[in-house]
Chain A
């Protein structure tokens, strides 16, 4: 099993973790504020499509990335209108939203790019070794020879922790998710905070989709590219007990479980059915969930629309 300490394995794990972590950070804030975004799958997919579409129009992947974040923000806001302002049931809206986005991105892809998408070179977002840090043995290869988006996550994750636990904004977000009525009675504009959180969540999910298509898939958009990662994000968020730090760790573990499939299949393939490897990450997650057990406590108004 010497493969498990290989730097490339962990570098892969981190690369696979990036889009999941990006979306899960947004989802952490959303869930902390009480919004359970089943539609994160759709938000990510719209980001992926937006990134590919804008990048092929503008000929610039950075613009594409920004476009995806913007698309995510707009859809996050629309999603917010439904679940926050209209008090629609969050699970139902999420299920419907995912269907709509799946259909709409496919229709748009064919309507707007009948001859296929011409995504320009994604080299700007590809791996860039950091000077000095990148030269560190092992660590450098794992952590500092990555996409700039991964570097952004090194900053974003601690910032998320700071924001959530050390600022008034974070306090508001936590309060709104843990006692929406009480917060409202304390004069907090619960809908406004939840709307903002949904915009942030949409932006990050859009960026996650963009990362997936521009970095991980090298600019190739295919319908349903996200392929269930949104649900993984939901699981991860809850699993990590709504703490950005744990979310990051969990994302890397999921990434590692994914990356492990290559090693495992290459090692044991033929003796063990593939389906076993494919379900392994979920089995691991389930096992971890069972071991963690009662320690997790969800925000008490998670998924509950504010009726006031």
Chain B
């Protein structure tokens, strides 16, 4: 069947009656390539992946006792269909986008920063330190900038630590950042149980951030300016990577450290620089949650944005602009899942599935596309 087709395509004259080509056996990959043709264009394939996952999601909703129409209605209202939906989606988009953009800096510079989760955790510590502890004793207008700055410094140092260990000791940053994630999470715990604990609180959380250190909000909604910061980071990171000398140096080191050294680029310093910037941006995600959503450092404030942001970065082919679009979609999915649970009583577990599916499907689509491009020599 399929074999015949290929045979005619490649013009080999093979008798139809001939026994199956013994050589064919192992090369299942070719059929993947055929499948991959479905994904020839990036945008349709992205849309297709989302449609398929939402289809499966709908099916699961129906299995869980809802109806498809209700589910679609909820999805609509919790994303573009209502003001509240839009706001929620944007609030959920913010940390994911910041992490995605942050890791893009590292990944494009050849540093595998798996530690966004940790960097945003320490970023949150920095923000809370600024907003709740330092802010009362500094002039009001400085409270917010200082808190954000502190968060960025914390995140940068946390990521920078991995970079320094890499340059100094040759420790693979993948492992270092992974381990630093765990350490950061317990560090937050240490803070909210000890040094930063709000003595009047009955939960592990810090004092409340003072009002002037909060991220301002749009009107009376809960949408805070973190989204503005995130979008600004998208533009800045694009600008950095594409339009500045530092960006070119970083990318050069990322692609080929050896050749970069021959061109007198300071590989060690650039490695550290990439991680510092990456950590600082990831930390803003934690700062946004602290100063714009929770208003205090609270144990367990992040439900794994670090890894989701990483997935978004990859799905966006490490382009900040695309990351914006994909992060918006994931914000919408998260918002929808939350509402589905509220309105249709669909279990929270479904949300994980509906989020995970497009991630996997998109990755498959992108992989198949890359394979096909490589085979055909289209760069």
Q: Which residues of A contact B (CB under 8 A)?
A: 82-83, 85-89, 91-93, 95-104, 106-107, 110, 189, 191-192, 223, 228, 231, 234-235, 238-239, 273-276, 278-279, 282-283, 285-286, 289-290, 292-294, 296, 298, 305, 307-308
Beta-carbon nearest neighbor of A187 in chain B: B26
Q: Which residues of B contact A (CB under 8 A)?
A: 26-29, 32, 36, 60, 64, 114, 165, 169-172, 174-176, 178-183, 186-187, 189-190, 193-194, 307-308, 310-311, 314-315, 347-360, 362-364, 366-368, 370-371, 374-375
Q: How far is the CA of A252 from the CA of B362 in the complex (A)?
A: 38
CB pair A294–B178 under 8 Å, yes or no, is no
Chain A residues contacting B171 (CB-CB under 8 Å) are 289-290, 292-293
Q: How far is the CA of A107 from the CA of B60 in the complex (A)?
A: 10
CB pair B356–A100 under 8 Å, yes or no, is yes
CB pair A96–B359 under 8 Å, yes or no, is yes
Looking at the assembled complex, report how far the CB atom of B191 sits from the nearest CB atom of chain A, in whole angstroms.
9
Which of A97, A292, A293 is the one whose CB lies under 8 Å from B356?
Answer: A97
The B interface is mostly helix, strand or loop, or mixed, namely: helix
Beta-carbon nearest neighbor of B190 in chain A: A275
CB pair A86–B307 under 8 Å, yes or no, is no
CB pair A282–B183 under 8 Å, yes or no, is yes
Chain A residues contacting B348 (CB-CB under 8 Å) are 106
Beta-carbon nearest neighbor of B360 in chain A: A96
CB pair A96–B311 under 8 Å, yes or no, is yes
CB pair A104–B368 under 8 Å, yes or no, is no
Chain B residues contacting A189 (CB-CB under 8 Å) are 26-27
CB pair A278–B308 under 8 Å, yes or no, is no
CB pair B352–A102 under 8 Å, yes or no, is yes
Chain B residues contacting A98 (CB-CB under 8 Å) are 307, 356
CB pair A96–B314 under 8 Å, yes or no, is no
CB pair A286–B363 under 8 Å, yes or no, is no
Q: How far is the CA of A231 from the CA of B315 in the complex (A)?
A: 21
Chain B residues contacting A289 (CB-CB under 8 Å) are 165, 171, 175-176, 179
CB pair B370–A103 under 8 Å, yes or no, is no
CB pair A95–B176 under 8 Å, yes or no, is no
The A interface is mostly helix, strand or loop, or mixed, namely: helix
CB pair A91–B179 under 8 Å, yes or no, is no
Which of B60, B187, B363 is the one whose CB lies under 8 Å from A92?
Answer: B363
Decide: A86 near B179, CB < 8 A? Known: A92-B359, A95-B310, A279-B186. Answer: no
CB pair A86–B367 under 8 Å, yes or no, is yes
Chain B residues contacting A273 (CB-CB under 8 Å) are 190, 193-194
Q: How far is the CA of A234 from the CA of B354 in the complex (A)?
A: 25
CB pair B368–A87 under 8 Å, yes or no, is yes
CB pair B367–A285 under 8 Å, yes or no, is no
Q: Which 8 pairs of residues, A with B, have the shortest CB-CB distance?
A: A103-B352, A96-B359, A99-B356, A294-B170, A100-B356, A87-B367, A106-B349, A279-B186
Looking at the assembled complex, report how far the CB atom of B12 sits from the nearest CB atom of chain A, in whole angstroms.
20
CB pair B193–A86 under 8 Å, yes or no, is no
CB pair A88–B363 under 8 Å, yes or no, is yes
Q: How far is the CA of A307 from the CA of B314 in the complex (A)?
A: 17
Q: How far is the CA of A278 from the CA of B184 in the complex (A)?
A: 11
Chain B residues contacting A238 (CB-CB under 8 Å) are 172, 174-175
Beta-carbon nearest neighbor of A286 in chain B: B179
Which of A100, A276, A294 is the one whose CB lies under 8 Å from B360?
Answer: A100
